Every structure is written in structure tokens, then in C-alpha cells.
Structure 1
């Protein structure tokens, strides 16, 4: 084994220990990303020094310089195309248009770079320098976002895929908005998954449908969700609605109070149910509010996933904004220093 592979192996062992202690951690995701990076470098080193396989070494070197840009290009086109589908099915809003916005950024950066070259050709050197500096800053921020997105998505997927409690004492179902006061398909999938978890756990858990009443809703989400659960043969005494929350943070805090009132404690097994793209951030929030709970995700329509995942990544970065100040500040400082020295 090479030094890089040793470091990767140590990081993976460390990650397993951290996972056993607490899987709901963004720090774990960072360790996971480092372990993958060192593992890749170790494979490159083996290909060059140990196997002396020039063709394999060339492929491994080309992956980050050709493969990744090609993936980003195809992904960007797919994200822009997804915006068309989202606009047709869900309407136009900032939340729904995140995928095409992110997808358009690489093309806008290339266009801006070409404009900078044209400016240089016409002796507009000062304007070109400022434009290229702006392109450099946005490019660095974009690449930083993509790196965070990759690690968060992969680790979040692993967390969601791992087995959870099979016999929970409490099942929290997160609301997602009503349509004309009724449960829409997206929320119905969450409730169906909660019912599935409840049945597999021996039909003994208390179900907490959690969601308040929006300004444009005739009743609370919790009320409509409770009605849905009753219609699917869940006993009324096992349904305890939480109808005061306005966001995921309040969902968790208010549900925690209900669990305590129902005799639950630190030893209680708690599972929350939400859409698959929302599980990891909800897990981070549950840890932040002090609720020991594990997440289960339900299926989401594929066309809805790109913008939803991007929204989750941005929300997680905002949650941990202080973690990003040093690396982002360092990137900007290097770019600024380079501009001054050029």
C-alpha cells in the first residue's frame, strides 16, 4: 500500500467510528470526502510507480481534467433541460428554477471569458482584467459549491440508505403543504412510508403528523395528515398531531415536546419520515435540537429531485456557514493576490 492509501484507510476507519457514535454529522461527510480523495491519489500512485501501467495512469490523470469537465457539461445541459420540465409541471419560482440556474453558470462563465478576450483584442485591458477577476471569483465559488455538493449528496445518500430502527416508539411525519386543504401526492408518499414503518414495527408506535397551517391553507397540515392516517386504519389513540410548526426546525422541537409528554425519553426509538432528498438535512436539524432520531426517506418524482437537492445543499451550507468562511476567504484572498501580482 502507498502512503495515500494508508491515509485513506485510516480515514475510513475513523469514519466508521464516528458513524457508530453519531451518523448525523456533516463532519463525517468531510472525512468521507477526504478518504475518497486520498484513495484516488493512492490508486494513481500505484498505477504509476508499482504497476508501471502508463495507459492506466493516463486514464486516471485524464479523469479529473477531461472526465469531470465532461460530466459537468452533460450535467449542466441536463439541469437546464430539467428547468423546462419543472416549469411545465410545477410552475416558475426561484425554488423550482435552481437546477437550470446552476446548470447555466458554466456557460455564462465561458461566455464572460470570451467577452474578456474580445475586450483585450480591442485594447480594453482594464475592463477585461476586472471581468476576468469576476469570472475567477465566481468560478472558484462554483467549484467550491460543487465539491460540497458531491460530498454532501454521496454521504447523505449513504445515511438515507442505511437500515434504521425497525421497532420505533415514535414516528414523526413531516408536512409539506396542502392543496385545497387536502393531502397532495408528495405528502401522501410520506404518510404511506410512515404507515409502512409503523406496520413493520409491530403497529405499536405513536405517529406524530407534524405541520402547521399556512396562510393560504384552510386547515393545518397535521389535521389533514391525521385524517389521512385514520382513513388508512391507524388507531386514533396512536395519532398525536403537532399543528404549530412552520418549518423543519419547529417540526423537530415541537415533536420533541410531544414525545416527552407521551412518556418518551432518551432511550426512546424515534424515526422521522420525509422525502429522500430531505432526510439528511432533517437528520442534522434533529441532532441540533437534541432529538435522538433517525430518518427514513420516501420516493420523490425524478424530475423534482435536481432543484430539491440543490435547495437542500444550499440550506445545509447556510446552516454551517461559519465552516465555509475560512476556505472561501482563503480562495478569495489567493485570487486577489494573484490579481495584484499580475
Structure 2
């Protein structure tokens, strides 16, 4: 029954991906199938070890899995804190730049709580039992958020690879703005423009009359609209200005896409196929928004500096949670029932 469910989940994910891979539900189905398959393999291994007359192999195997998981959490926490410090040093202090640091502190705090439960268990069994209940209760919402995070990141990487590998010709390439330094693109935006130029050349080489849309308005701290600076950068790199269309009014990713579609329609491309170019950490959410606004196409990701990626992907994950806040709030409320029960018992 268990493996049949794994096959059913994997098949459902495959069918949805074939129809339109720009669905977050595909990521959840893949994560559930992978999780159930892992549980099945571990359960089979436990049964094999349990058949032995000697219980020690099973006990050592279980201890090894727990220690490996704990060590992985420690490494994740330390690496996230170190990345947060590096991010602040290179990019300056801001709530967005502190995300990986806060995440790392949270992971290390959870590790410390687990270690506390173990230490107390060696001396005070009754207290340890109570702490263990709290640990299990807290693990429910943490596991929910962790599974969603792994699903989002894992499918984002898979989607980005597949989109690059099987990218089809398009009517227009939309490059999303990402801030300026004076009147010049930042390195982050320059990487997007390079990827956009590659997509433009590849699509035109396959016989499509493809144009590139520079999409980005003018922020309060910018001297020119992002679209203008992007177009200038591309012309300096050798792109024919006649192949460039400008969208200089947007202030968000959704507006980037809606307004760019309007620009394309004014040039005779109405209901065409688009490739939206952004950075790799943002490519899945951009593709999801492309589908949400009713446009056909796919997302392409430009490489991001390694130190910048953790905070950026956490920001994207937070945005995904917020965009589906009602569903996530409901599911989190369910996972928090054991914690609420413990709080009520403690207050009684």
C-alpha cells in the first residue's frame, strides 16, 4: 500500500508537470513521494536488522541516523549564521540581509533544546519526559515548514535546470529589473541581462522574431528608470536597439509581467510565449507569477553569488508563504494543536 501511494504521488506530479510545470503543488507532491519512499526504505532496513537475534545492530543504526540528522542541523545552523555575518558585511544591514543569520540562530536554538532534553534525561527522568513532549509538539510545525522549504528549494532547482535544458523559442524575453548603481546595472542585474541576451540570441537563431523587454520602473533613489539603464547596458554589449522594448513603470514582479505583456501587445505580440529572466533563486516564483497573470512561457535563472543565495532564497520562501497565507495559517494551526494543548495544561 505504501509503495502504491508513492507511485500515485509521483505519477500525479509527473502529469501536472507535463501539463504545466509552473505549479507549487508539484513540489509538494514530489516531496511527499520522496519522504514516503525514504520512510519505506528505512523501515525495510529496520525490519532486516530487527530479524537478527542481536538487537545491537538496529540500536546502533537508529543512533547513527539520529546523530547524522543532528550533525546536519548543527552544520546548517553554523553555516547560516556565518553566511548572515558575511551578508551584512558585504551588503549592509537590513532585515532582508539578516534572514540567514536569524534562520541559523533558530536552527541552533532548536539543536540546543534537543541537547537539553537529552542532558536532563540523564538526571531527571520526570522533567525529561515533560521536555520531550514539548519537543515533539514543537517538531510538528517545524517539520511542516521544513518540508515546504525543501520542496520549494528542490523543485526550484529542478525547474530552473529543466527550463534551461529544454527552453523553447519565445516571442519576447522579459528581463526583470533589480536595482541600479547610479545609472548602471548592479552585478545582480547584469547577470540577468547576460542571461536575457543569451535567450534572445538562442530564440532568434531558431527562426523566431524575438524581442527583449527591459522591465523596471524608477525607484525613489534611482536617477533613471531601470529599463533605460538595462537597455543602455545591452546596447553597449552589442545588442541591436531595435530588438529592445522598454517597460519603465513597474514596481513589483507582478507589475513587471503585466506591464511587459501590455508593451508586447502594443508591438503586435498578443497572447504570445514569453521567457522571464531573473536570478536562479527567484526563477520558480517568477514562473508561478507568469502563470498567475495568464501568460504562456517559462522562467530562466541567472547565476547568483554564493554568499547572496541563502538570504535570497529565504526571502523567496517567506514570500511564497505570505502569498498562500490563508492555507499556510490553517495548516500551521493544525500542527500547533499539540503545543496549544501543552500550554493549556501548563496554565491549568
TM range (shorter): 0.7 to 0.9
Cα distance per residue 1:240-294 (max 9 Å; x no partner): 110000011110111111222222243x221111100010111111111111220
* Residue number in structure 1 paired with 2:123: none
Give the number of equivalent residue pairs.
Answer: 329
Matches within 5 A, 1:315-330: 315-330=319-334
Give distance in 2, aligned partners of 1:271 and 1:111: 45
Give distance in 1, aligned partners of 2:111 and 2:36: 31
Q: Secondary structure at the match of 1:219?
A: coil
Give distance in 1, aligned partners of 2:251 and 2:98: 23
Matched, 1:26 2:27: no
Name the CA shift for 1:70/1:221 in 2 (closer, same or farther; >3 Å). Answer: same
* Residue number in structure 1 paired with 2:176: 174
Give distance in 2, aligned partners of 1:60 and 1:256: 56
Cα distance per residue 1:112-132 (max 9 Å; x no partner): 7969x99xxxxxx9xxx9x99
Moved more, 14-23 or 62-71: 62-71
Name the CA shift for 1:337/1:262 in 2 (closer, same or farther; >3 Å). Answer: same
Cα distance per residue 1:122-159 (max 9 Å; x no partner): xxx9xxx9x99998876654443222111110011111
* Residue number in structure 1 paired with 2:222: 217
Q: Could you list the runs of 5+ residues in structure 1 that have no partner in the other structure?
A: 119-124
TM-fit CA distance, 1:340 = 3.1
Q: Say whether the 8 Å CA contact 1:5–1:43 is kept in structure 2.
A: no
* Residue number in structure 1 paired with 2:89: 88
* Residue number in structure 2 paired with 1:252: 257
Q: Say whether the 8 Å CA contact 1:207–1:238 is kept in structure 2.
A: yes
Give distance in 2, aligned partners of 1:84 and 1:337: 38
Moved more, 224-233 or 256-265: 256-265
Q: Could you list the runs of 5+ residues in structure 2 that have no partner in the other structure?
A: 121-126
1:185 to 184, 187, 190: 187
Matched, 1:230 2:238: no
TM-fit CA distance, 1:220 = 0.3
Matches within 5 A, 1:1-342: 3-49=1-47, 61=62, 65-109=66-110, 140-162=140-162, 163-202=165-204, 204-266=209-271, 268-341=272-345
Name the CA shift for 1:70/1:272 in 2 (closer, same or farther; >3 Å). Answer: same
TM-fit CA distance, 1:189 = 0.7
Q: Say whether the 8 Å CA contact 2:180–2:186 is kept in structure 1.
A: yes
Q: Secondary structure at the match of 2:294?
A: coil
Give distance in 2, aligned partners of 1:325 and 1:79: 26
Name the CA shift for 1:134/1:39 in 2 (closer, same or farther; >3 Å). Answer: closer
Name the CA shift for 1:70/1:235 in 2 (closer, same or farther; >3 Å). Answer: same
TM-fit CA distance, 1:337 = 1.8
Q: Say whether the 8 Å CA contact 1:190–1:274 is kept in structure 2.
A: yes
TM-fit CA distance, 1:62 = 5.1
Q: Say whether the 8 Å CA contact 2:184–2:233 is kept in structure 1.
A: no
TM-score between both structures, scaled by the size of structure 1: 0.86
Moved more, 83-92 or 45-54: 45-54
Q: Say whether the 8 Å CA contact 1:4–1:38 is kept in structure 2.
A: yes
Q: Say whether the 8 Å CA contact 2:73–2:111 is kept in structure 1.
A: no
Name the CA shift for 1:92/1:63 in 2 (closer, same or farther; >3 Å). Answer: farther
